[in-house]
Structure 1
């Protein structure tokens, strides 16, 4: 069955980026010339997703405005002859169908995903955490969809992390490798305080079967007193199997200032129109410090 819907849990306050996020959603923080959320939405569209669900909260209206029409701005751009910019602005409102849902209580990632239950229905769906910006030749969402099509099971994206960082992630126990980078998962634990099953972490891209959504309905609060998506995925792993895929690409955690800075530097160096200028700026700055 085709993966038509991507769920974006975007209700968080973004405290790791304060004070920048005091009056602005963290998803609207800019990376070069686009907000973080736009990179993530473009990724799923490039992977063939047709519908995006934002599970948001109050104070997130800027997200809605960004993907809406702005006739007055479009008129000014047209009058000024800025056709390329006009096309970019108009593209935002026609990328795909976007649906907005409120998460009325901050009960965790699993609860945020569950809020989209009625829209997702009985279909497989993607879950995207837009803090994670991934630079790759093929969209990571597309990579996972291919592995879902191959296995017919839920697939989560995996990345190796330093041993000292395992307490920050959902960590998996790897089973057999069934294809290059594709592992059957024998278990997983959310943010283990000790004795992690591996150093392979779940990163913010998932393709999930309807069974995961059903499991969320009965999932009790876990780590941090929240309804954890990992717990529901683990239930499904025990009953029907779940896979992990070691994706191809470079991930940047743009939910903190270090990861955001790394992303700015790397994305600037990747772009032909910015590369020369970025190298010059970095070299000149290095001389001064």
Structure 2
């Protein structure tokens, strides 16, 4: 059973300046709750017992807000050098078994927590990696990613590659959302990545290496994803959740 998860929440939030100069992006409100609360609640409802939060910019605000939650531990990413190094900071805090990964930008409206849906699929498939996928427009693929995959069932795909922000190569209309289950082998793949000094190393590179080992799957989930990573999307999400009277 998957009982640990990592939330990557250390970004500078430059696309939401000037507000993120004083408030870390994951703490921006959706209704009267910060974005991070939706991610934490999803993990708690999925019976995750140990949540490791990678934080950086304005981290003291996040630490103070969650200081009374016994399930949350913090890791500080002092150098913003990419999502792969951010995740690698958690290696020694994770047991050598599968764990969840969440990008803090993405929150979900669901009946069954999306992370719980992925955990169930991971266990039934004996997978090395599982990610939530959804079908989107070509314009959205260019913002997110496009997946190379083969259908197994209407809601299940064998995953071959994640192509980030494609310009003209779109192997499918499916994109990977901000939720993963991965085995501890992912850290072996991060160790194999090299970067020029100062260059960011993206987690997708390591995930693609893990996918190449096989037993990697995309799962269409029940629920709706809301991206809060830009001003427009944050405002749209906040408006939608406010109409649902979520507090």
Q: Same fold (TM over 0.5)?
A: yes
1:147 is displaced (CA, Å) by: 0.7
Distance in 1 between the 2:104 and 2:65 partners? 15
Distance in 1 between the 2:60 and 2:146 partners? 33
Q: Which has the higher helix share?
A: 1
- 2:22 aligned residue: 23
Which structure 2 residue ranges, 5 or more long, are not aligned? none
Distance in 1 between the 2:155 and 2:193 partners? 29
Contact 1:221 1:228 in 2 (8 A): no
- Residues 92-103 of structure 1: pairs in structure 2 closer than 5 A: 93-94=68-69, 96-103=70-77
Distance in 2 between the 1:165 and 1:46 partners? 29
Contact 2:132 2:219 in 1 (8 A): yes
* 2:84 is equivalent to residue 110 of structure 1: yes
Aligned-residue RMSD, C-alpha: 1.9
- 2:146 aligned residue: 171
Instruction: After superposition, give the CA deviation of every residue in 1:90-128 in whole Å (9 maximum; x if it has no partner).
Output: xxx24x421111112222111111111111131111111
Which structure 1 residue ranges, 5 or more long, are not aligned? 69-92, 275-289
Distance in 2 between the 1:105 and 1:8 partners? 17
* 2:200 is equivalent to residue 226 of structure 1: yes
Distance in 2 between the 1:217 and 1:121 partners? 17
- 1:278 aligned residue: none
- 1:252 aligned residue: 226
SS in 1 for 2:21: coil
Contact 1:233 1:242 in 2 (8 A): no
* 2:202 is equivalent to residue 189 of structure 1: no
Normalised by the size of structure 2, how large is the TM-score?
0.92
Q: Which of 200, 209, 215 is equivalent to 1:241?
A: 215
SS in 1 for 2:12: coil
Deviant stretches of 4+, over 4 Å = none
Contact 2:30 2:242 in 1 (8 A): no
Which region of structure 1 is more displaced relative to structure 2, 102-111 or 8-17?
Answer: 102-111
